[in-house]
Structure 1
Amino acid sequence: MMKLIQVTLIIVLTIMVTACKTDKQSNQIMNVPVPLVVYKTKADYSKYVPVLLNDSKDRIISYPAPGDLTFDGDPALPTQLKNGYLLDNMGIGPNTAFTTYTYEEYAAFDHAPSPQELLNHIIDSDPFSELWLCGTRNNFNTTEDINELILKGFKHSKNLLKE
């Protein structure tokens, strides 16, 4: 359980640091290692906004601002990979849940819904069938490198659901 808390804390801190960046070079300047997370969900939630729940999964502890859901003007949707896997582009972790809000509708909000509103809009609080921490994004140059990791069975990756 302690390792799950540590992994969740690392992911939350990364979200907080990267959400505050003003441009793509900010991470390079600050040398923040952005975790590379690959996952599968039990259903297709790829267009829905993720939020982070507490360990009891009865309270939201982190959620994006509407402006955090785009990158260069496009929705920061997960990247489709081989064999149905997705590359996280938002900072998800073991306690992530998906809401009924799509990236497009959430990004159009003037302000984020309240935590209670978001909690009322959760689709699935246990959405993952697989969740892998594969090091940092600095370790991979292309999605083909990540697809190769998938084909090799996530060698040297950490299964975040087996904590």
Structure 2
Amino acid sequence: PELPPKTETSEFARLTREQAVLYEAVVRETMAKIEAAEGIARRGLVLKLLTSLRQICNHPAQYLKEADSPRLAGRSGKFDLFEDLLSVMLAEQQSVLVFTQYVEMARLVSARLGQQHIDHRILHGGTPVAGRPALVDAFQSGDFKVFLLSLRAAGTGLTLTRAQ
């Protein structure tokens, strides 16, 4: 009962040219390997392909393992759409929860937020258990507006009522 009403909207983001080129190259290369493989190896390649495509759609830097890339903006339609939505929410003084399946993606988002001087924190599976309550309390008390959460770490019974 203490949670605000849930609002869902669907947003669509186009792949950037870099994403589209990477996507096509990965599909072409992996499909050739899949055609030559059999059994469990074939299934493994299909799973690897799906994971790679999801990472490319998130941000090329995630797929290319460019964790320290200073150039993050303009390379991912999804990333740029996220920045647009976030700027609106922050302009409205809203607190924001950002969920991701990939800790690497949370780190990329964190790097970009740092470039923009947006105060935020990250909670993921590697966050020490003893430090988690302090992070949650700081968010709940309004010490920072943006909380990045991995699905694995956040799915362990957290109640964050501050976010809209």
TM-score normalised per structure 2:
0.30
Between structure 1 and structure 2, the one with the greater Rg is: 2
Q: Give the structure with the higher percent helix.
A: 2
User: Higher relative contact order at CA 8 Å, sep ≥6: structure 1 or structure 2?
Assistant: 1
Greater fraction of residues in strand:
1
